[in-house]
């Protein structure tokens, strides 16, 4: 949790910008959800406001905002439109990750940052494939990179490529032909083919289509890393703090549902009652449960983000399991909050004329974003039992 009154004037002014953007996005959200079209208008508004450069280092012309502030903005944007917030979160989060880890060669990172500041360029990583499933599970890419003079030629297909219709830069994982190594390569968005496969239950406007690479040439200076399959790369060295943009987004959707239900309960008075339904005991309990779930999840989220901001980069990886806990707690809480909001509003909550049914569908996508619940529980269990495990005799 954070108290806006305690924030600096600069942060409050930036929150005013994202709040205004969220209001614009809210007015467009139902149409984009209905059509499944990519929200180009929303992305252009984010670029015009300079939001896409706020996590860029100051030395390259950005604002270099920290993790805590980034989450505040992502949560705010999601209150307007979850799809847009989740999509742009991958970009601003990835820039923050690259800034904190130094995973890109300096000249390459400078090139990317300068295009973000100058042109509003967007970047994301595309690693998922039909055969490998989630890259967090360690599958070896079927996308291949063939060494050629001056670089590599890459062919393959990636799924869940969020932001694909607007990406300038794409980090692609590929197995290097003839070698037992996997590389990360920076590809230009204009060099890939987008196959519009994204037609899903929730988060319908993230543009998470398939991308196809057909013998795409990548010069040697656009090679990010080469490593053994499953090996940790430099991008893992911040403990995954940047991925908190995911729970921030779903909490934003949960907050939007809470706001709708609170307003409805406080103002709706059927003729069978002498007061609004907010004063009916079982409704009052549901409203209180919503508040408690959001309070718990947001407190953990922002506490961890503040700790990440304060920690020396070398110490951040020790928070990895707690970051996973924050994601699991937040996404499950968001689902529970939306469910409760719909129970408060009743049968009307199913109407397409109200936003609750969209919130209901959108929050369910969070259960399938990394890290998955089972992986988080396993990490927490291993950390919890570690002090009690007997060491093997030497």
Do 247 and 369 fall within a single domain?
yes
Asked which of 121, 139, 170 is the last residue of a domain, the reply is 121
Residue 3 backbone class (left: φ over 0; alpha: ψ -120 to 50; beta: rest):
beta
Phi and psi, residue 379, nearest 5°? -60, -45
pLDDT, tens only, 32-62: 999 999 999 999 999 999 999 999 999 999 9
Q: Is the pLDDT of residue 130 over 90?
A: no
Do 218 and 130 fall within a single domain?
yes
In a domain, 236, yes or no: no
Helix (H, G, I), strand (E, B) or coil at 372: coil
In a domain, 53, yes or no: yes
Do 97 and 172 fall within a single domain?
no
Do 378 and 254 fall within a single domain?
yes
Mean pLDDT in residue range 67-83:
98
Q: Is the pLDDT of residue 138 over 80?
A: no
CA distance 108 to 288: 50
Strands (E), 116-206: 123-126, 144-148, 151-161, 169-176, 182-188, 193-195
Do 203 and 246 fall within a single domain?
no
In a domain, 394, yes or no: no
Residue 102 backbone class (left: φ over 0; alpha: ψ -120 to 50; beta: rest):
left
- DSSP symbols for 206-269: S--EEEEEEEEEEEGGGEEEEE-TTPPPGGGTTTTGGGGHHHHHHHHHHHHHHHHHHHHHHH--
| pLDDT tier at 131, thresholds 50, 70, 90 | confident
Do 264 and 160 fall within a single domain?
no
- We report the CATH number of the domain holding residue 195 as 2.40.110.10
pLDDT reported for residue 9:
97
In a domain, 351, yes or no: yes
Asked which of 201, 226, 251 is the last residue of a domain, the reply is 226
pLDDT reported for residue 285:
98
Do 249 and 305 fall within a single domain?
yes
In a domain, 135, yes or no: yes
In a domain, 234, yes or no: no
Do 192 and 154 fall within a single domain?
yes
Domain of 86 in residue numbering reads as 4-121
In a domain, 233, yes or no: no
- We report the CATH number of the domain holding residue 105 as 1.10.540.10
pLDDT reported for residue 319:
96
Do 9 and 81 fall within a single domain?
yes
pLDDT reported for residue 391:
67
The candidate with the shortest Cα–Cα distance to 151, out of 226, 220, 216, 225, is 220
Do 87 and 180 fall within a single domain?
no
In a domain, 273, yes or no: yes
In a 10 Å sphere around its CB, with 0-12 CB exposed, 13-18 middle and 19+ buried, how is residue 389 labelled?
exposed
Q: Is the pLDDT of residue 134 over 90?
A: no
Query: Count of domains in the chain?
Result: 3
Q: Is the pLDDT of residue 137 over 60?
A: no
Could you give the C-alpha distances from 70 to 289, 362, 376, 381, in angstroms and in order?
27, 21, 23, 29
Do 208 and 277 fall within a single domain?
no
Asked which of 100, 121, 142 is the last residue of a domain, the reply is 121
List the single range of 132-136, 159-163, 289-293 with lowest mean pLDDT. 132-136
Residue 394 per-residue DSSP state? -
- We report the CATH number of the domain holding residue 348 as 1.20.140.10
Contacts of 291 (CB under 8 A, 6+ apart): 258
Do 247 and 378 fall within a single domain?
yes
């Amino acid at each position: 949790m954070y108290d806006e009154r305690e924030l600096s004037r600069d942060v409050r002014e930036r929150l005013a910008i994202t709040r205004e953007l969220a209001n614009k996005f809210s007015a467009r959200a139902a149409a984009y959800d209905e059509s499944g079209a990519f929200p180009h208008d929303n992305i252009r508004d984010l670029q015009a406001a300079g939001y896409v450069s706020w996590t860029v280092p100051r030395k390259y012309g950005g604002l270099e905002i920290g993790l805590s502030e980034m989450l505040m903005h992502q949560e705010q944007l999601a209150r307007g439109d979850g799809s847009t917030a989740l999509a742009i979160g991958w970009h601003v989060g990835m820039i923050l990750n690259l800034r904190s880890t130094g995973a890109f060669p300096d000249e390459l990172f400078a090139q990317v940052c300068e295009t973000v500041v100058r042109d509003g360029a967007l970047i994301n990583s595309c690693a998922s494939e039909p055969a490998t499933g989630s890259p967090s599970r360690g599958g070896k890419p079927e996308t291949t990179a063939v060494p050629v003079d001056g670089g590599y030629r890459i062919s393959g297909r990636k799924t869940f490529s969020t932001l694909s219709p607007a990406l300038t830069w794409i980090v692609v994982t590929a197995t290097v032909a003839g070698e037992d190594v996997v590389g990360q390569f920076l590809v230009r968005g204009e060099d890939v083919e987008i196959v519009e496969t994204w037609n899903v239950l929730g988060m319908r406007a993230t543009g998470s289509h398939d991308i196809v690479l057909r013998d795409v040439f990548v010069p040697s200076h656009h090679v990010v890393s080469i490593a053994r399959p499953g090996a940790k790369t430099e991008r893992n060295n911040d403990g995954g703090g940047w991925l908190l943009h995911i729970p921030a987004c779903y909490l934003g959707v949960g907050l939007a549902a809470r706001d709708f239900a609170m307003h409805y309960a406080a103002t709706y008075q059927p003729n069978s009652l002498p007061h609004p339904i907010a004063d009916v005991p079982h409704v009052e309990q549901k409203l209180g449960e919503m508040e408690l779930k959001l309070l718990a999840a947001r407190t953990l989220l922002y506490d961890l983000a503040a700790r990440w901001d304060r920690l020396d980069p070398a110490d951040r990886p020790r928070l990895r399991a707690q970051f996973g806990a924050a994601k699991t707690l937040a996404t499950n809480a968001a689902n529970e909050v939306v469910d409760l909001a719909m129970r408060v509003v009743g049968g009307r909550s199913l109407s397409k004329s109200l936003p609750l049914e969209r919130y209901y569908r959108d929050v369910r996508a969070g259960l399938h974003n990394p890290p998955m619940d089972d992986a988080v529980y396993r990490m927490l269990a291993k950390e919890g039992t570690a002090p009690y495990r007997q060491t093997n005799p030497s």
